[in-house]
Amino acid sequence: MDKFTANDLLDQYEPLLTDNQQKICQLYFREDFSLMEISELLNITRSAVFDTIKRCEKILNQYEEKIGLCKKSHKRHILYQKIKAYNIADINDIVKELIDTE
């Protein structure tokens, strides 16, 4: 899983992970720490970090398959861009409000 996809999934489903999983994913995907850096920081083995990341990737993908929040969010943003292309100020203001609520 690439880091862009992982961050997208974390935006939607991170609260559903355990605190430890959240911390490791935050360091690995968002802050770009290496496996070794995370293992040293958290005082766990590199393989434990690797296993946690792989487990989280699987969990996040399962959530997306079942719930589909990322897919729905991407579709909404495409529709927002199509609406904004009409370039009607009042409607664009409403679209901006909708985007800001997400």
**Quick one: pLDDT at residue 84?**
86
As a whole number of angstroms, the distance between CA 7 and CA 43 comes to 24
E-strand ranges in 1-102 read: none
Instruction: Report pTM.
Output: 0.82
**Quick one: pLDDT at residue 22?**
98
Q: What is the mean pLDDT of residues 34-44?
A: 98
**Quick one: pLDDT at residue 59?**
98
Chain-centroid distance, C-alpha 10: 3
Report how far apart the first and last C-alpha atoms of the chain are (Å, whole number): 24
- The confidence band for 16, taking pLDDT boundaries of 50, 70 and 90, is very high
**Quick one: pLDDT at residue 102?**
83
**Quick one: pLDDT at residue 8?**
96
